[in-house]
Structure 1
Amino acid sequence: MISVVIPTLGRPSLHELLDRLDDPSLEVIVVDDRPVKEPIPRVKARIIAGPARGPAAARNAGWRAARHDWVVFLDDDVLPDQDWPRRLRADLAAAGPEIGGVQGVLRVPLPADRRPTDWERVTAGLADGAWITADMAFRRAALAAVGGFDERLPRAFREDAELAFRVRQAGWSLRRGDRRTTHPVRPESRWVSLRTQRGNADDALLRRLYGPRWRDLLAVPPGRRPRHAAITAAGALALAAGATAAVTRRPGWALAAAAAGTAWAAGTAEFAAARIAPGPRDRQEVTTMLLTSVAIPPVAIAHWLRGWWRWRSAEPASAPSGAPAARAVAA
């Protein structure tokens, strides 16, 4: 038997997902992580109450309630292939005692009749991600040995990469399997790119925990935050120098404001162009990219600084006291 843990916020897609998991070899646990719990109709699964503190805490509640040696995490908006249970069993049967986790193959369908939008491209990046919990199986022993997900990471952002790093640190290996799951692009507002900048606060925590090489250690691709910082600094300098020039009427400050303003405009234009070029380039998408490209750099840096201050004394998550050695458990 295998346990499947699905945190949910009550998305309608949950029911179609559960239909694909109607298999006697699976214990399906739905973690209801809505702040206000109401009955979820037509659910053929074991439902437990989540703490409503984000997906990391919800998944921890799920695996701790699981009864079996392997725990598979799925998101509530994915759709496994029809043969997913059979392929899952094959993936896990092929995992030797040194294997602590097995990832499924993730597909993100994109429009065939046009170029993808910025949000569609961001979602498509999940297909290339390492150890994504949209479909990721872990040995329960590995989860117990490292203490599960770090609940200081409250969003569906980096919490899976951070857990995978600690599992590897504890002595297990991770591998990719053959089972396949589709992750549709979820409908979002045109301002979603601004909301996702909150993840910079989580990046600040990971930088504090793992040092300047944290991206390499956690297999996280490089980001644009250094460029965002430069653009934000140029914009702030332009405003400050312009205000000083208006008060003092000294030409040196006016020149400084013009130079900083030019640097800000050039950086913002490059950022907007990089987001517009691969997209559909229709009026709404171009307008959205222009507006959000102006706002994203200062918003990203503000969240980074907020996280840096909040987690200035953070320490790496530690395994529960008395946890057995990883390889001893796996063997």
Structure 2
Amino acid sequence: MISIVVPTVGRPSLAVLLDALAGQLDDLPGVEVLLVDDRRGDAGELAVPGTLAAYTKVLTGRGAGPAAARNAGWRAARGPWVVFLDDDVVPAGDWARRLVADLAVGDRVGGVQGAVRVPLPAHRRPTDWERATAGLTEGEWITADMAYRRDALAAVGGFDERFPRAYREDAELAHRVRSAGWRLVRGRRVVTHPVRPESRWISLRTQRGNADDALLRRLYGPRWRSDLGLPPGRRHRHAAVTTAGVLALVGVALHARPPRHAASRGALGVATGVAALAWAAGTAEFARARIAPGPRRADEVTTMLVTSALIPPLAVTHWLRGWWRSRGVRPGVTA
């Protein structure tokens, strides 16, 4: 038996996913589908296609995020393999057949990842948000489509529920599974992950993930990115730009006070100018790095300019908040 676990907040994309699964039941003997309804409040029942209803069980989540929802799913699963799918992916027409082949692996293989495709516009360069979504195609062990042996999940206790977002919780689990002696490999099945519509300010909201990065730093030390196989970030640059901006603002505020000593006032003016130039240069570099590969439309350029000024202090604030909240975490101890 194969257990498919789908945590969901009831997005319209869920119906597309379930329809795709329903059309491949003949290639999935003994399958069960566990939908974990992670919506808060009474949002009504989830619609399940009739052909899939006999194979599907709907579980009620706690509204505590995808890590907790996936834990509820795999702990209720009966199959030796648990396949996690996000509720906004679309399995290819041969996904089920390839899944069965992907899971024909050695006993020490604890997980098999599916390939993720992100369709991008053919007539123009992708926006910042589209490029961020396309990053999923290069992600390792992401639960957009990731199969784990139930024994491997049980051995490490599943997902760490202190990660409340769909961010880093899958990489952290994969690290613990590999550390426990299991191998993770890539399979040949494919899902498509469309770029969902979002506000032009989505990049500001995603900075909340810096709090999760702070927790990872607490857990795994200064080498946490390389140990978990994560790409380098911009936190140190954001911290430098934010510091320069704060110093410039402080300098302006002090300069506005009644003068006492002309020499000290002049030195303050120079220091303030240097800090302001450093902030402007750092912000301009960040904006250029985001604008250059994009469509360069007026609305996109405006959004990039505004958010490039706001992201560094926002990222630093979320990091500090996460660092403070995780102050009692002991290195190497997961929950």
Offset of 1:134 from its aligned partner? 0.1
Offset of 1:162 from its aligned partner? 0.1
Match of 1:69 in 2: 80
Match of 2:293 in 1: 278
Query: Residue 38 of structure 2: which of 33, 37, 41 is its match?
Result: 33
CA deviation map 1:268-327 (0-9, x unaligned): 0000010000000001100000000010000000000000111012133458xxxxxxxx
Match of 1:186 in 2: 196
The yes-or-no answer on 1:209 pairing with 2:219 is: yes
Match of 2:16 in 1: 16
CA deviation map 1:86-130 (0-9, x unaligned): 10000001x100100000011001000000000000000000000
The yes-or-no answer on 1:292 pairing with 2:303 is: no
The yes-or-no answer on 1:7 pairing with 2:39 is: no
Contact persistence 1:232–1:264 (CA under 8 A): yes
Paired residue secondary structure (2:140): coil
Unaligned runs of 5+ in 1: 320-331
Contact persistence 2:18–2:48 (CA under 8 A): no
Counterpart mapping for 1:104-183 below 5 A: 104-183=114-193
Counterpart mapping for 1:200-239 below 5 A: 200-239=210-249
Contact persistence 1:146–1:318 (CA under 8 A): no
Amino acid in the other structure paired with 2:32: E
Normalising by the residue count of structure 1, what TM-score does the alignment of the two structures yield? 0.94
After superposing on structure 2, the runs of 4+ consecutive aligned residues of structure 1 that deviate more than 6 Å are none
Offset of 1:16 from its aligned partner? 1.4
Query: Residue 57 of structure 1: which of 37, 47, 68 is its match?
Result: 68
Cα distance in 2 for residues equivalent to 1:106 and 1:115: 20
The yes-or-no answer on 1:265 pairing with 2:280 is: yes
Amino acid in the other structure paired with 1:62: G
Normalising by the residue count of structure 2, what TM-score does the alignment of the two structures yield? 0.93
CA deviation map 1:210-229 (0-9, x unaligned): 00000001111000110000
Cα distance in 1 for residues equivalent to 2:20 and 2:273: 60
Unaligned runs of 5+ in 2: 260-264
Q: Percent identity?
A: 67
Offset of 1:46 from its aligned partner? 1.2
Q: RMSD value over aligned CA atoms?
A: 1.1
Contact persistence 2:102–2:189 (CA under 8 A): yes
Cα distance in 2 for residues equivalent to 1:318 and 1:111: 41
Match of 1:302 in 2: 317
CA deviation map 1:147-199 (0-9, x unaligned): 00000000000000000000000010000000011011111000000000000
